[in-house]
Amino acid sequence: MSSLNVGVLGFGTVGSGVVRILNEHQDKISQITGYDIAITKVLVRDLSKARRYENTGITLTTNANDVIGDPSIAIIVEVMGTIETAYDYVVKALQAGKHVVTANKDLIALHGDHLITIARENNCDLFYEASVAGGIPILRTIVNGLASDHLKKVMGIVNGTTNFMLTKMTSEGLTYNDALQQAQALGFAESDPTNDVDGIDAARKMVILTRLSFGMNVSLDDVSATGIRNLTVDEIKLADQLGYTIKLLGISEETNGAVDVCVTPTLLPKTHPLAGVHNENNAVFVIGEAAGETMYYGPGAGELPTASSVVSDIISIAKNIKLGTTGNVFNSYVHETNKLADANCYAKYFVRLKMTDETGTFLKMTQRFTEQNIGFSRILQLPENDDQATVVVITHTTSRANLHEALAALKNDNGIVVHSHYRVED
């Protein structure tokens, strides 16, 4: 059997998993691809670090050219992270005619469009299944399994750190800070967890999901992202009283040929399939005109789950090499990119207000919503002390523009403070 050499950039969590899976599942992978696939070189930063899988005939190097410039290597796997350095290496690899697999959502969300062009120009494959929801084969499901459908909406729990934190805050009443510390100790959070808690990691994954689901080339600036930094255990309890669970969702929705993408804490009925996704798990809920509702659930990170997606990408490339059909990327469906205006973006909302407990304040609040044609489906008033009350409203469906108008007016009203507002899904 002929061999196919792979060079890997990075030997951390994911890189180690790739080495392990290729070794342990070698027989099956050879049967499927017709190649003996071997990792020959791995790029690291520090040669003196102890590595877990050392006796595998791999040469370690700190010089990227040793890997990218090696003519015997056909496939480069980028699992080192970073944006600019990874971009530089991936461009060089594609220009050298090497196929590329990456797990780097930051790279693909920010530079995917350009990398795809370079891949096509060089007749190279470029795959990145692990970049969204690590171990869940969601990208191939969308581009292959659901290829015949007209997708309408994609909602995902695509950040394990924040889902873990919300689970702990909900089920154990842990504070935000304690929950974050636990997520960091368990290794789910990025080294700087800002991108996790502020919804930026999820926004990057939603950019990738949106491009593949709707063929629209949205960028990070097109995603309105609110994370969980200001979410309190009080709000989780208020939502619970109303029959909802709060999850950080990425929501991408197509309406009349235009798309809206957001990341926001979202109230879900406790019976919703996404409400049952706990701890660091991820899930993506897809609504298509033909297939209806489908959901894909599993680990969003971790050595072996993430590496299994990377190795599946390697297998796809090996099959394409065998068939002489390389030059493939996930993004074969392209539609004109249109962004839905806030006036046409409809949803229900949870609004939490603090108000002076005085005759007339409640009336003023209801007037502000009425002026924007917003109706209420639920209202909860809880006295805080003699003069202050917390009021929670669940609105009927309204446009984002009308909601923002109502909230802006309420902010200017004496005796009313808008504490927070989150989306509500049925």
Ligand X SMILES: N[C@@H](CC=O)C(=O)O
Ligand Y SMILES: NC(=O)C1=CN([C@@H]2O[C@H](COP(=O)(O)OP(=O)(O)OC[C@H]3O[C@@H](n4cnc5c(N)ncnc54)[C@H](OP(=O)(O)O)[C@@H]3O)[C@@H](O)[C@H]2O)C=CC1
Catalytic amino acids?
A: 205
Residues touching ligand Y: how many (CB under 6 A)? 23
Residue 246 φ/ψ, nearest 5 degrees: -100, 130
Kindly write out the interface string for residues 12-51 of this chain, putting x where it contacts ligand Y by CB under 6 A and - elsewhere. xxxx---------------------------xxxx--x--
Alpha-helical (H) ranges within 242-343 are 303-323
Cite the annotated binding site for NADP(+) by residue number: 9-16
| Helix (H) and strand (E) counts in the chain | 14, 17
- The CB-side HSE value for 14 (13 A sphere, CA atoms) comes to 27
- Closer to ligand Y by Cβ: residue 281 or 398: 281
The CB-nearest residue to ligand Y is 12
The verdict on 201 binding ligand X (CB under 6 A) reads yes
The verdict on 133 binding Na ion (CB under 5 A) reads yes
Rounded CA gap, 60 and 54, in Å?
A: 10
Rounded CA gap, 141 and 99, in Å?
A: 21
- The CB-side HSE value for 419 (13 A sphere, CA atoms) comes to 17
Rounded CA gap, 207 and 219, in Å?
A: 6
Kindly write out the interface string for residues 279-318 of this chain, putting x where it contacts Na ion by CB under 5 A and - elsewhere. ------------------------------x---------
The verdict on 196 binding ligand X (CB under 6 A) reads yes
Rounded CA gap, 200 and 181, in Å?
A: 19
- Closer to ligand X by Cβ: residue 56 or 184: 184
Q: How far is the CB of 21 from ligand Y (least distance, A)?
A: 14
Residues touching ligand X: how many (CB under 6 A)? 11
Rounded CA gap, 47 and 323, in Å?
A: 38
The verdict on 301 binding ligand Y (CB under 6 A) reads yes
The verdict on 424 binding ligand Y (CB under 6 A) reads no
The verdict on 81 binding ligand Y (CB under 6 A) reads yes
Q: Which of 7, 10, 199, 227: binder of ligand Y (CB under 6 A)? A: 10
The verdict on 129 binding Na ion (CB under 5 A) reads yes
Q: Are strands 73-78 and 99-102 parallel, antiparallel or unpaired?
A: parallel
Cite the annotated binding site by residue number: 9-16, 105, 190
DSSP letter (8 states) at residue 97? T
The verdict on 198 binding ligand X (CB under 6 A) reads no
Q: How far is the CB of 74 from ligand Y (least distance, A)?
A: 21
User: Looking only at residues 174 through 193 of this chain, which bind ligand X when binding is defined by CB under 6 A?
Assistant: 188-190
Q: Which of 104, 252, 316, 395: binder of ligand Y (CB under 6 A)? A: 104
User: Which residue in 219, 218, 294, 220 sits closest to 259, CA to CA?
Assistant: 218
The verdict on 106 binding Na ion (CB under 5 A) reads no
* Residue 76: strand, helix, or coil: strand
Beta bridge partners of 351: 393, 421
Q: Say which entry of ligand X, Na ion, ligand Y, none residue 129 contacts (CB below 5 to 8 A, set by partner kind).
A: Na ion
Q: Say which entry of ligand X, ligand Y, Na ion, none residue 212 contacts (CB below 5 to 8 A, set by partner kind).
A: none
User: Which residue in 154, 130, 107, 167 sits closest to 21, CA to CA?
Assistant: 130
Rounded CA gap, 215 and 337, in Å?
A: 8
User: Looking only at residues 266 through 305 of this chain, which bind ligand X when binding is defined by CB under 6 A?
Assistant: 300-301
- Closer to ligand Y by Cβ: residue 288 or 302: 302
The secondary structure of 180-201 as a DSSP string is: HHHHHHTT-S-SSTHHHHTTHH
Q: Say which entry of ligand Y, Na ion, ligand X, none residue 302 contacts (CB below 5 to 8 A, set by partner kind).
A: ligand Y
Q: Which of 29, 211, 302, 423: binder of ligand Y (CB under 6 A)? A: 302
Residues with Cβ < 8 Å from 84, sequence gap 6 or more? none
- Closer to Na ion by Cβ: residue 129 or 254: 129
Rounded CA gap, 163 and 277, in Å?
A: 8
The verdict on 139 binding ligand X (CB under 6 A) reads no
Which residues of this chain interact with ligand X, rule CB under 6 A? 134, 159-161, 188-190, 196, 201, 300-301
